[in-house]
Amino acid sequence: MSAPGWATDLLAQVCADAGVAPPGLLWRTRRGEHSTGVTRRADGTVAVRAGSDPLDQRLTLLHELAHWLAAPSRRRRGRSVHHGRAFYATAFDLYRRYGIPDADALRLESARYRSSLRHAVALRVPGAATALAEHRAAITRRPRRRWRVLVPEHRVTLERDGRWTVCGTCGQRVVGVNLARMRRSRRPVRHVLMTAESA
């Protein structure tokens, strides 16, 4: 289906204002409130699957246009920074300039990418610090899980279990930096296996 007029107009406006060639716009619909999008730089397209919420459609298109305007993603420590500070500087700027109120931008963007709140605080988006504090408070208000000792503290003896390295006493997998640290350690490493029960 062809994109609605407001979307083609918005795309043309944003790209004209930024002085960049516009991408092609592919538009489909999806069930549900939220929209999704993807920018394919190599194909020169932005694709949106539009949900039912008009404001979320607009934010989704602007989010993808922020990818389009961004310099091809930099790589840091081998990992491309797709939704980093530079991206959100562009995205929140587009949201503000093209009709998404800050409070809605924070709400809708953080519903997809929780990390956007942290960037929004650093970028001084009005309301971001409050939204982040509320989110943190909501986490601490969640019913606490009670933890119970399943296997009492013991010395770790590394054993192989198929492709994994496990603790020979409790069977817990030991991976990554922990494994490297244990192999290097001259003193025995100790462990306790806890289990969570819902309160």
Closest C-alpha among 21, 69, 24 to residue 47: 24
Residue 191 as a binder of Zn ion (CB under 5 A): the answer is yes
Asked if 123 contacts 84 with a C-beta cutoff of 8 angstroms, the reply is: no
Tell me the window of 1-9, 28-36, 91-99, 184-192 that interacts with Zn ion (CB under 5 A).
184-192
- Written as six digits, the tokens of 4 are 């609605």
26 DSSP β-pair partners: 47
Shortest spacing between CB 154 and Zn ion, in angstroms: 6
Tell me the window of 4-12, 18-26, 40-48, 190-198 that interacts with Zn ion (CB under 5 A).
190-198
Rank residues 20 and 133 by Cβ distance to Zn ion and give the closer one.
20
Asked if 63 contacts 91 with a C-beta cutoff of 8 angstroms, the reply is: yes
Rounded to an integer, what distance in angstroms lies between the CA atom of residue 148 and that of residue 137?
25
Asked if 98 contacts 14 with a C-beta cutoff of 8 angstroms, the reply is: yes
Rank residues 133 and 175 by Cβ distance to Zn ion and give the closer one.
175
Shortest spacing between CB 41 and Zn ion, in angstroms: 12
Shortest spacing between CB 88 and Zn ion, in angstroms: 10
Q: x-or-dash pattern for Zn ion, window 154-183, by CB under 5 A?
A: -------------x-xx-x-----------
β-pairing verdict for 45-50 and 24-29: parallel
Judged by CB under 5 A, the number of residues near Zn ion is: 5
Binding residues (CB under 5 A) for Zn ion: these are 167, 169-170, 172, 191
